[in-house]
Structure 1
Amino acid sequence: MSGPLLVNYTNSTKDTNGANISTLEFIFICFPEVHTWDISGLLLFFLLVALMSNMTIFAVIVIEPRLHHPMYYFLAMLSVTDICLSMVATPKILVMLWTDSATVTASACFTQMFFSIMWSASESSILLIMAYDRYVAICNPFHYSSIITKQFMAKACVFILVRNTAVALPMPLLAVNLDYCSNREIHHCYCENMSVEKLACNDNTSSSIYGLVIFILVGGSDVLLIIISYFIILRTVVVARSFTAASKAFRTCGSHFIVMSMFYITIATTIVSNRAVKEIPRPVHVVLSLLHHLLPPALNPVVYGVLTKEIRHAIHRFIRTIKIQP
């Protein structure tokens, strides 16, 4: 099965200058140039790896009493966020590739847009909180238990929920208020906001500016604060001139640094390629965006499982306790 994924869409109650949201449907033009079974097999592989590995990390942290500490609770939060991020669009894409059912209602599209932005922003927030946790553990270890408390974790959860809901909600609301022309073909595999807003007949400048400002303010501020925390950690280790301190810093920060780099590089590459590098072929934009939804969720637990000794040992103990009944 190959070729463009095209399905007729319903007529709107408005003319071609606009569309009624209640009857509006979009059509995904996903990978018309590529054999869809090849793409779907790769997406399914990454999705299964993301789901299985993150569920394993979450289960191990919940079951293993030795991991009942804030550092691992934040990692469990990251695993849940990764599961949600990988499930926002990929199952729908797989169904679309397997069945040629390429239409999506406007309400479903804008809902998908909201959760895609919200879970991405939530992952950024969790990475920021994890960086602060590592900063306190290395630079202020004697006060760690009095700073990273249950109350702090509860406030962190509220911060993640409130901030990222407030950040994500305006985007679909702005998209709802746009008028959509007779061409409703989204040249993407899911309702990515920049691809949807290009279909509007009227001016979409406010939506475009909002998306860019949010990326700079939210993502940029998170990255800046993470870099500052790592700079302070590095300075503390250098001043201490201790191999033990350096080894501890590497163990506690190495995995987090790799995970953070993968997440921000994929999302920054997606946004820059969409807005600034117009000569890049359309399939490249699509692949980069899909990688943001699947690559970090699939690799994050692998990185933590390999580089974090406590997680690695807990997984080994967890596997040994599994008994296969006849």
Structure 2
Amino acid sequence: MSLPRIAVDAMGGDEGVRVMIEGAALARRRHDRFKFLLVGDEAKIAQALDHHPNLRGASEILHAPEAVAGDERPTQALRRARTTSMGLAIDAVKRGEAGAAVSGGNTGALMAMAKLALRTMPGIDRPALAALLPTLGTHDLVMLDLGANTDCDARNLFQFALMGAAYARIVHGLDSPRVRLLNIGTEETKGTDDLRDAAALLKHAAASLALTFDGFTESDKLSRGDFDVVVTDGFSGNIALKAMEGAARFVGDLLRRSFASSLRSKIGFLISKPATETLKHHLDPNNHNGAVFLGLNGVVVKSHGSASAMGVANAVAVTARLLEENLIERIAADVAAVDPDTIRQPARRRVANTEGETAL
């Protein structure tokens, strides 16, 4: 099957061209149907392609004289969008010259450029950043928003749930993903008004949605694998994500320190090495790389800035999967299936049945 080509911001990421091109080449070796538009410094990209002939024949280079710096303000990056590799990669999606864009660059700039160029889909107020997190279950957890929106109301959270469920159906092949809202407790009375309103909206519309709403969850349950999608505002989501990443690094560092503390510990490490290698693989962010901005009129995927070539290849694979499975069309269909009156006002303060009982 031939897919729309993927625009790669070759200058994005901590190591820039070398890792981005190597990652695209690895993805191409795994899936020979991939085609690429490589955006960045033409001379550097051409030099990198000398080491990857399999990628050269499946790619076109679009020269961009500038790159977005990692610490650059989104407003500054926006003014240079037409001359940067990130801006031109997104513009290629807007003009239909690529089906999707992948970048390992500045997240804030990527969000600002993508939102301005591609706009949000009809029925979606704000895009959200979604990623896959490792769990003890059979598949990863879809979590959103992870930083695109620091302040969200009930309507935003409801829309995030729709988009997250559509994403989970694609990446995990689920018919009705189990969705929960991140909260400070599982009781219906816990949390802000917006969280309780969002819960009421999801309960009220559950019968017409391709998802199962399971109520609230606390952050310590995110890795259990008991549900498929967790929805939150970008402020809380980003804090939760960084806390999980820090805990994973802490466990890894603690194990390394413990195993090096004595001869007996070193022997124990050799005995337990298969288990520690499994742990390392499970927690390696490269194996879960590829966060997607949901809700835009186009597919834009954010790769970790520090991703290895394998991580970039995984982000490219995620991107291709979303194109192949028609993510945009699926979200649009889910939004169209929702009765507009359902989200016109907070459901918590609306009569839920003919007996006059409120939703909460």
TM norm structure 1: 0.27
As a proportion of its length, which structure holds more strand? 2
Higher helix share: 1
Higher relative contact order (CA 8 A, sep 6+): 1
